[in-house]
Structure 1
Amino acid sequence: MAIWIPDLSSREGPKYLQILEAMAEDIAAGRLAAGTRLPPHRELAYQLNLSPNTTSRAYAEAVKRALIKGEVGRGTFVRSADFSPDQAEPETLLRESRGPIDLSRNLPLPGFSEPHIRRVMSEIASDTGLRALLDYQTDTDLVHHLEAGQSWLADCGVEASLECIVPVAGGQHGILCTLMALLKPGDLLLAEALTYTPVLAMASRLNLQTGAVAMDAQGLIPEAFEACCREANPKALYLTPTLQAPTTVTLSEDRRAEIARIADHYGVILIEDDVFGPLKCDKPAPIARFAPDLTVYVTSLSKSVAPGLRIGFLHAPRKVASALRQSVNLSVWMTPPMPLEVASRLIKDGTAARLAEQQRQTASRRQQLVQRALGMDTAKQFSDGFHFWLPLPEGWRADVFRSECARMGVHISEGRSFAMNAADAPEAIRLCVSHEPGEERLIQGLDIIAAVLRQKPCGTPLTL
C-alpha cells in the first residue's frame, strides 16, 4: 500500500499547518480511513523535502486534535471516528483515565486526603461554631487559625509569632499579596533564571520590572545575585530554594546564608516560596531563619496535603505583616474561613503531617519508577518531589522532543516554558509524576519518553 503523501502545492501558511489541513481533509473525505498507518514523520519530511521538525510538529498538533495516535514500536495511526476530541488534550485540570498521558502538570495526588477532609467537613457541619465560619472574619476573630498556621510553619522550620502570620488562599495568592504590598510600579523584581512563570505574569500586571539571576547545577548563584544588587538596585528577589521549580535543585545551607547576607547588605526583600518544602526530607534551614527581618516566607498545603485545599500561610517581618493583611483584604477581602477551618483542623490533629508523609512516600516510589524507565545514568536528576528535570542528550531540541512525545500521546513541559529569557533556555524538559493517578499510565508514559530518548535526535532548525 502506498504511503500517504499530501499535496501541498496549492496551500498557504506554515508548512506544518498545511500538512495538518491536508490530513484533516483526507480523513473527513475517507481517503484516510480509521486505522491507516501514516508514514514516520522523518519519511514524510524526506518525501516533502521539509525539516523533520516540521512534520513532527504537524503530527503533534494532529494528536492534540484527536486525528491520529502514536503507538510505541508500531507507528502512527488515524484514529477511529468515534474518538472524541475531548479525550485528546483536556482544557481542564481534571485527571483523565483515557487520552494522552499528562506528565506536564505539577500537582500532588488528591486521593489520600478525601476521607480525612470528608470527616472534618462532617464535624464542622455538626459543630456549634459553624455560624461564625459563615460570617465575615478578620485574622483575630478566630485565633486558632493562626495557631494552626504557627504549627504548620514550625513543621517547615520557621518559628513564628501569631502577629507575623497571614493566612492566604494558597501559595500563589500569597506571592501576589506580597508583591502588591511591598513593591510599587517600576520596582525591579529579581528571580532565578528558570522560575515559576506565573510570578512573571503577576509582575507584568503590577507594572514591575523583572531581572534574571544566573543559576548553576547547585541553584541560584550568590555572586550573580550580588552583581545584580550592585548594578540594578532591585527591590526584591523571588526564589524557590527547596525542590526548585523546575530544576528540583535544593540550595545548600551555605548558599542560603550567603543570599541572606547579600540581601541584608543591599536591603533587598526576599520572597521565599517553600510550597515544596514539606515534600523534602532533611532540607536545610529556610532562608527566613538567616534573614528574618527581610524575608516573606510562603508555604501552602496545596502541594503536600490536597491540591484543592487552597490554603497557605505567610510568615512576614513584623513591620510589613499589616501591609500583607491589607493586600489579602484588597484581593479577596478575607481568606475563606471554611477551607481555613478544614486546614486548621487537619493540622492540629496531625492529619496534615501524615498526609504530607504519604505524599513523600509516593513521590519516592514514583521517582524509582522514573529511574527504572529512563536508566541509572539519570539518577543525579532525581529529588524528593513530584517533578524532575532532564537535560536532553546532545542534538535534541526541547521543542522537538516535546512535539515528538505529544505525537506519541504524552504531554511534557520544555525548559523554555520556565525561562525568564527564552534565548537562554537550556535544552531540557520537566516531567511530573503525580498528575496521573494510576501508576500503569505513568509507566506507559515513561516508557514512551524512554523510547523517544533512544531515537536519533534531530537538531535541524524548525521550518514552518
Structure 2
Amino acid sequence: MQRFNRNIALMAIWIPDLDGRTGPKYLQIVAAMAEDIASGKLAAGARLPPHRELAYRLAVSANTTARAYAEAVRRALLRGEVGRGTFVRSPDGRKDGETANSLHRTRSGPIDLSRNLPLQGFAEPHVRRVVEEIAHGSRLPALLDYQADDDLAFHIRAGQAWLDHCGVSAGPDEIVATAGGQHAVLCTLMAVLQPGDLLLTEALTYMPVRAMAARLGLHAASVAMDREGAIPEAFEDLCRHAHPKAFYLTPTLQAPTTVTLSHERRRAIADIAGRHGVILIEDDVFGPLKADRPAPLATHAPDHTVYVTSLSKTVAPGLRVGFARAAEHLLPGLRHAVNVSVWMTPPLTLEIAARLIVDGTAAELAARQRQVAEQRQALARALLGDSGLVSDPHGLHVWMPLPEGWRADAFRARCAQYGVLVSEARSFAAEAAGAPDAVRICLSHEIDEARLQKGLRKIAQLLHDKTGNYELGL
C-alpha cells in the first residue's frame, strides 16, 4: 500500500516535458518550467516536488534536478522556503498571502508600472453631469428595462460617431455594441470560429486572447514580428500551410511593443487575408490616441475584418463600452454571442457613453489622454535614455529591450525588490521559449507623476548598477 500511495503521488506531481529539447539536462528542465509558468500550467504559489522525487520520475541524477532548481531560483522563477519546499514565484515577487498588485491605484506601496490603463479622473465631472441628466430625464425607466432593437437606435448612432472618430465608416446595421473591447473580442471569437479552428496572433500579443482561445477549444499559432510589427510574409506562409480561420492583431500602439503597423504592411496583410479567406480581428482600442496613424485595416478589407474599439483605454477605464463593426454576413454570429454572454450590453452604461460621444466630450477626453501620454513619454525618455527604448509619443507604455547580461525574469524580479512592478516579455509571448529579454513599462497607471518619476529612476539605476546584473546573480 505504501508503494501504491507513492506511485499515486508521483503521478500527481509536475513533470516537465523534455521531448525535443537539447543542451544540458538541467537547463532543459528550467526551460520547460519557464514555459509552463508562462502558460499557466504552473501557477504562482504552486509547490514543486522535492528535487529528488523529480529526479526519480525523470530518471536523472538528483544533482541534475538540484542544479535545475537552483538555476530557476536564480532566474526568479522559483523561491525556496526552509522547511516548506520550493514554490513558483509570483510575477511581482510576493509570497503567498501577500496582496498582489491589482487594478487599484494607490499612492503608497509598490510603484505599479505593469498595468496599461489610462489615467483616471478626467472623465469624472463629465460622467457626473451625464448621470444627473439621465436621473432627471424621461429615459431612465426604459434604461432600467430589457431593450428591444428600436431602443438601441441612439446608442448605435453614437457608435457610428465613435467609429467615424476612429477612421472607420459604418452603417447602423454593421455595428454591435459590447461591454468593452475585451468582450467584443470574445464575442468575435465565438462568432467566427469553431472548436478546433486555428487562430493566429502576433508573436507578442494581448494574452487574454490566448486564454479565450483555449477556453473555446481553438488552436493557436503566432505570426513572427520584427521591429516594424507583424511580418506579412510570415502571415502568408501560415495561411498557405496551416489554414487559419482568423488573425487577431493590434495594428496601432501594439501592446507590448508600441509598434504601429505601416500603411504598406496593413495593405499587405489585408490583401493576404482576402486571398486566403482569413477573418482579421482588428483590436484598435488605442487607435484614438494616435491621430496620425495609418487608416485601419477595416478600411482595406471591410468584408473580412471585424473592427473593435472601446472607450475604456481612451476615455475612462471603468466605462466598459465597446463597439464592433463587421460585414453583414458576420453580424448574426456577433449579435448571438452578445446575447449568449451578457444577453444585452448594459443600457445605462451605454447611455452614458453615447451621450459623451454625441456631445463631443469623449473625443475631448481622448485628446486629453493623448496630451498626458506625450508628457509622460517625454519623461520616460529623459530618465531612461533613448538607447534601446522603443516608444511612441502618443502611447501609454514603452518597450525596453534589456542590455546584454540581463534576463527579463531576473530584471522584473529585481525591480519588484526595488518596489517597482513591470511586465516581462514572457507575459505576452505566444511561445515562452522565444520571448526576448525585454520588459513593458506602463506610464499611466500611477496617478502621482512623482511616483512615476521615482519608479523610472529606480529602473534607470538598475540598468546601470552592475551589482544587479543577472550574471552576478540575484
- TM-score above 0.5: yes
Alpha-carbon distance in 2 for matches of 1:61, 1:248: 25
Other-structure match for 1:17 = none
Other-structure match for 2:114 = 104
In the superposition, relative to structure 1, how do residues 196 and 366 fare at CA in structure 2: closer, same or farther (>3 Å)?
Answer: same
Alpha-carbon distance in 2 for matches of 1:360, 1:280: 8
The reply on whether 1:400 has 2:410 as its aligned counterpart is yes
Other-structure match for 1:30 = none
State the shift of 1:139 in Å: 4.0
Which amino acid in 2 is paired with 1:210? A
State the shift of 1:318 in Å: 1.1
Q: Residue 146 of structure 1: which of 138, 149, 156 is its match?
A: 156
Deviations 1:355-402 (A, max 9, x none): 000000000000111011111335653441101111000111000000
In the superposition, relative to structure 1, how do residues 314 and 52 fare at CA in structure 2: closer, same or farther (>3 Å)?
Answer: closer
Identity of matched residues, % = 59
Question: 1:291-440 alignment to 2 at 5 Å?
Answer: 291-378=301-388, 380-440=390-450
Alpha-carbon distance in 1 for matches of 2:72, 2:218: 40
- Unmatched 5+ residue regions in structure 2? 1-69, 81-88
State the shift of 1:320 in Å: 1.1
Other-structure match for 1:53 = 74
The reply on whether 1:267 has 2:272 as its aligned counterpart is no
- Structure 1 stretches of 4+ with a deviation exceeding 4 A read 49-52, 54-67, 459-463
In the superposition, relative to structure 1, how do residues 462 and 173 fare at CA in structure 2: closer, same or farther (>3 Å)?
Answer: farther
TM-score by length of 2: 0.80
CA contact (8 A) 1:187 1:208 kept: yes
Which amino acid in 2 is paired with 1:256? R
Deviations 1:156-178 (A, max 9, x none): 00000000000000000000000
Which amino acid in 2 is paired with 1:408? Y
Other-structure match for 2:46 = none
Alpha-carbon distance in 2 for matches of 1:383, 1:391: 18
Alpha-carbon distance in 2 for matches of 1:110, 1:97: 14
Other-structure match for 2:50 = none
In the superposition, relative to structure 1, how do residues 53 and 227 fare at CA in structure 2: closer, same or farther (>3 Å)?
Answer: same
Alpha-carbon distance in 2 for matches of 1:50, 1:268: 43
Other-structure match for 2:190 = 180
Deviations 1:44-101 (A, max 9, x none): xxxxx9999368976997985599xxxxxxxxxxxxxxxxx86x644x3110111000
Q: Residue 453 of structure 1: which of 458, 463, 472 is its match?
A: 463
CA contact (8 A) 1:239 1:272 kept: yes
Q: Residue 284 of structure 1: which of 290, 294, 298 is its match?
A: 294
Alpha-carbon distance in 2 for matches of 1:111, 1:402: 29
TM-score by length of 1: 0.81
In the superposition, relative to structure 1, how do residues 64 and 131 fare at CA in structure 2: closer, same or farther (>3 Å)?
Answer: same
Partner of 1:278, secondary structure, is helix
Alpha-carbon distance in 1 for matches of 2:412, 2:240: 39
Alpha-carbon distance in 1 for matches of 2:71, 2:303: 59
CA contact (8 A) 1:51 1:461 kept: no
Partner of 1:376, secondary structure, is coil
State the shift of 1:442 in Å: 0.3
Alpha-carbon distance in 2 for matches of 1:339, 1:139: 17
Alpha-carbon distance in 2 for matches of 1:130, 1:316: 30
Alpha-carbon distance in 2 for matches of 1:361, 1:397: 33
CA contact (8 A) 2:168 2:298 kept: yes
Alpha-carbon distance in 2 for matches of 1:62, 1:139: 45
Alpha-carbon distance in 2 for matches of 1:221, 1:57: 35
Which amino acid in 1 is paired with 2:469? C
Which amino acid in 2 is paired with 1:329? N
Partner of 2:398, secondary structure, is strand
Which amino acid in 2 is paired with 1:458? N
CA contact (8 A) 2:228 2:259 kept: yes
Alpha-carbon distance in 2 for matches of 1:461, 1:218: 34
Alpha-carbon distance in 2 for matches of 1:52, 1:175: 37
Deviations 1:7-65 (A, max 9, x none): xxxxxxxxxxxxxxxxxxxxxxxxxxxxxxxxxxxxxxxxxx99993689769979855
In the superposition, relative to structure 1, how do residues 102 and 300 fare at CA in structure 2: closer, same or farther (>3 Å)?
Answer: same
Alpha-carbon distance in 2 for matches of 1:324, 1:116: 31
Other-structure match for 1:224 = 234
Alpha-carbon distance in 1 for matches of 2:127, 2:192: 35
CA contact (8 A) 1:53 1:460 kept: no
The reply on whether 1:129 has 2:139 as its aligned counterpart is yes
State the shift of 1:198 in Å: 0.2
Deviations 1:135-155 (A, max 9, x none): 101343220100000000001
State the shift of 1:338 in Å: 0.3
State the shift of 1:233 in Å: 0.5
In the superposition, relative to structure 1, how do residues 96 and 66 fare at CA in structure 2: closer, same or farther (>3 Å)?
Answer: farther
Which amino acid in 2 is paired with 1:335? T
Other-structure match for 1:213 = 223
Other-structure match for 1:45 = none
Alpha-carbon distance in 1 for matches of 2:304, 2:100: 43
Other-structure match for 2:24 = none
State the shift of 1:323 in Å: 1.4
Give the aligned CA root-mean-square deviation in angstroms.
2.3
CA contact (8 A) 2:118 2:396 kept: yes
CA contact (8 A) 1:89 1:99 kept: no
CA contact (8 A) 2:113 2:420 kept: yes
CA contact (8 A) 2:290 2:394 kept: yes
Partner of 1:293, secondary structure, is helix
Q: Residue 257 of structure 2: which of 234, 247, 253 is its match?
A: 247
CA contact (8 A) 2:176 2:325 kept: yes
State the shift of 1:444 in Å: 0.4
- Unmatched 5+ residue regions in structure 1? 1-48, 68-84
Which amino acid in 1 is paired with 2:398? F
The reply on whether 1:159 has 2:159 as its aligned counterpart is no
